[in-house]
Amino acid sequence: MIKPVTFKNQGQQLIGILHVPDRLKHGEKAPGIVMFHGFTANKTHRLLVHVARNLCDSGYVVFRFDFRGSGESDGEFEDMTVLGEVSDAEKALTFLTKQRLVDKEKLGVIGHSLGGRVAAILASRDKRVKFVVLYSPGLGPLEKMFRSQIDKEAMEKMDSGEAVKISSVYLRKPFFNTLDDPVPLDVMSKIKAPILIIHGDKDEHLSTDGSRKGYEIVKNLNDKNEFYVVKGGNHSFSERVHALEVIKKTQEWLVSLGLDKD
């Protein structure tokens, strides 16, 4: 069963979808997962939708939503910052804990791309997060890469308070100024929950280097931590065979955590 839901953060309304397993009996509780989409909430390949459906069929309550300024949620994209999305993510996690069908001791997060950055930062701060899955995450410094796409004239406009265009979207100065505050690689050592990092070796936006560095930081913190490379996979795992591989690996890893046990 899927259920449209709303929740608020800082006075703005966020729109989400709650996936609830049909097989849950009255009084039963299931592990809960919150999903964080990537930059601009590109839904072309619907990776997180397919992951959510499969995990729901496997017995998880899954909550996916649009960050403020993205999709159907309130706000403008040009006002977004990673820290703002971390705040949204925290509220979404709180929303999930209030669902009577969710086991509050078995909460996890899944983040794709910039959403993986959000997930890593949140997990380093919030002990409610008991497991973490990162798809093609941006874990290293990103400010320089984004600023390189702005010419001098645009930089002057941004400094005066205007939003500047990057590719097909507009962003304001706070996005750039706080993008690396913090850099996930600098805080991942604080994540005690098990972590699965999945990255395609043909990622056209973010190389596997950041994910490898992230794994090197956390690999000895939990014996369930794992780094998995999808050979031929691009940033969004848009080829069906790669998306299915991601789903299968995610399911197998979650089973290995023993979340289905009391």
β-strand pairing of 61-65 with 169-171: unpaired
Q: Per the domain annotation, does 262 fall within a domain?
A: no
With a cut of 90, say whether residue 183 has pLDDT above it: yes
The CATH number given to whatever domain includes residue 117 is: 3.40.50.1820
On whether the CB atoms of residues 14 and 80 are closer than 8 A, the answer is no
Report the percentage of the chain scoring pLDDT > 90: 88
* pLDDT tens for each residue of 13-39: 999 999 999 988 888 899 999 999 999
Which two tokens mark 29?
Answer: 């509780």
How many Å apart are CA 69 and CA 72, to the nearest integer?
Answer: 8
DSSP state of 76: -
With a cut of 90, say whether residue 240 has pLDDT above it: yes
Q: Per the domain annotation, does 261 fall within a domain?
A: no
* pLDDT tens for each residue of 94-108: 999 999 999 999 999
Same domain, 97 and 35: yes
Same domain, 122 and 173: no
Same domain, 76 and 91: yes
Phi, psi (deg, nearest 5) at residue 108:
-140, 175
Same domain, 48 and 173: no
Same domain, 71 and 148: no
With a cut of 70, say whether residue 45 has pLDDT above it: no
Of the candidates 260, 185, 198, the one whose C-alpha atom is nearest the C-alpha of residue 229 is 198
Lowest pLDDT segment from 40-49, 110-119, 143-152: 40-49
**Domain range holding 155?**
143-179
Rounded to two decimals, what is the model's pTM?
0.96
Task: Report the first-to-last Cα separation within the chain, whole angstroms.
Answer: 24
Same domain, 120 and 11: yes
Q: Per the domain annotation, does 74 fall within a domain?
A: yes
pLDDT number for residue 262: 59
How many Å apart are CA 240 and CA 257, to the nearest integer?
Answer: 26
Same domain, 157 and 187: no
Same domain, 13 and 100: yes
Same domain, 159 and 229: no
Work out the average pLDDT over 66-74. 95
On whether the CB atoms of residues 203 and 233 are closer than 8 A, the answer is yes
Work out the average pLDDT over 233-261. 94
Work out the average pLDDT over 103-125. 97
* pLDDT tens for each residue of 192-234: 999 999 999 999 999 999 999 999 999 999 999 999 999 999 9
The count of domains in the chain is: 2
